Amino acid sequence: MNIAERFALTERPRRLRSSPAMRALVRETRVNLDGLVQPLFIVPGRDVKTPIGSMPGVSRYSVDAAVRECRELAAIGIRAVLLFGVPDDKDAVASGNYDPNGLVQSATRAIKAVLPQLLVIADLCNCEYTDHGHCGIIDERGDVDNDRTLDLLARTAITYAQAGVDIVAPSDMMDGRIGAIRRALDGDGFSGTTIMSYAAKYASAFYGPFREAADSAPAFGDRRTYQMDPANGREAAREVRLDVAEGADILMVKPALAYMDLIRQTREQIDLPVACYNVSGEYSMLKAAAEHGWIDEERAVDELLTGFTRAGADIIITYFAKEYLKRRS
């Protein structure tokens, strides 16, 4: 009598793993290809495409170059891009951010002129535009003035909507920002503009490469008085509830990799779409490992995006979006 007979082995899960076709047949989780969002960094000038050293495969683009890149993205099935402006000129009150002819506004108009079907999401923050690198107006104590910053965010959101942005995505973590932006948009006739809130955005070490990409490192201090403590999960649930009450349409968790439990928590907490941001450090460390031959990049990316989806993300913002969809086109 062999072992199988001795123990009456009737449960054989391996039957469903026997071939690629069988595994595909019974696969439980599939990445929403329509929900992948490619971030783009917009800079001044013409015909500019500048590689970002800490993020292999990612570049900064001038408006005209961004339009060309968006044509490529749309051709392989990307449905949405997330824009970050990286200006040359900065000041204490982020005036370049609410300039109707600013980088994000100009890029949006140019993209929409040739690709009206492509969704344009505009990250709404001030750190790229301030000379001090913080996400709002600095008060006399050297801290970010929450309520004065709300006025700045609302003013900027209106210029984004006027330019044709489909989704405004505030990432600053000021208290009350969703309500202030929603009221401003509705009051100016933009009730159809969607708000995707960075609802649970943590003060994370995984943002390192983004500081180079967006030229947004704080000149002093850090962002821990407004971004969340990585140890706190219940606080994330509170932030999500507040943003839903204030009028958010989509809720985001950022970063993604170390916060899959909070993606799941958010998914179970609300019925709205849930997004996650697979941030720069997560991207760069996987790229670095792959370049050294320590990891199979394609398999790792597949596993990563599947994990975010399994955790509950409907929308995944990732620098891997273009490469991932190219493999499937």
pLDDT tens per residue across span 134-158? 888 888 888 889 999 999 999 999 9
SS (H, E, C) 79-107: CEEEEEECCCCCECCCCCCCCCCCHHHHH
269 Cβ neighbours under 8 A, 6+ residues apart:
237, 240, 241
What value does the mean pLDDT take over residues 280-287? 97
Mean pLDDT, the chain, as a whole number? Answer: 94
CATH code of residue 120: 3.20.20.70
In a domain, 228, yes or no: yes
292 or 328, which is more confident: 292
- Asked if pLDDT for residue 25 goes beyond 80, the answer is yes
Tell me, yes or no, whether 22 lies in a domain.
no
Active site residue 201: yes
pLDDT (0 to 100) of residue 86 = 95
pLDDT (0 to 100) of residue 2: 65
Question: Quick check: 220 pLDDT over 70?
Answer: no
Q: What is the pLDDT of residues 232-253, one digit of tens each?
A: 999 999 999 999 999 999 999 9
Share of the chain above pLDDT 70, in %: 97
Alpha helix positions (H), the chain: 3-6, 20-25, 63-75, 103-114, 146-163, 177-187, 208-214, 234-246, 260-269, 280-291, 297-311, 321-326
Res 8: pLDDT: 66
For residue 258, tell me if it sits in a domain. Answer: yes
**What domain count does the chain have?**
1
The mean per-residue pLDDT over the stretch 45-70 comes to 97
Write the pLDDT tens digit of every residue in 252-277. Answer: 999 999 999 999 999 999 999 999 99
Position 1 pLDDT exceeds 60: no
Question: Over pLDDT 90: what percentage of the chain?
Answer: 81
Bridge partners of 196, per DSSP, are: 250
What range does the domain containing 255 cover? Answer: 29-326
- Catalytic, out of 112, 201, 287, 322: 201
- Banded model confidence at residue 3, pLDDT cuts 50, 70, 90: low
Residue 9 lies in a domain: no
Residue 84, in any domain of the structure: yes
Residue 195 domain flag: yes
Catalytic annotation, pick one of 49, 90, 112, 254:
254
Q: How far apart are CA 87 and CA 154, in angstroms?
A: 20
Q: Which amino acid is it at 147? A: D
Res 215 pLDDT > 90: no
Length of the chain: 329
Q: What is the mean pLDDT of residues 35-50?
A: 97
Please check whether residue 262 lies inside any domain of the structure.
yes
322 a catalytic residue: no
pLDDT, one tens digit per residue, over 285-316 is 999 999 999 999 999 999 999 999 999 999 99
In a domain, 143, yes or no: yes
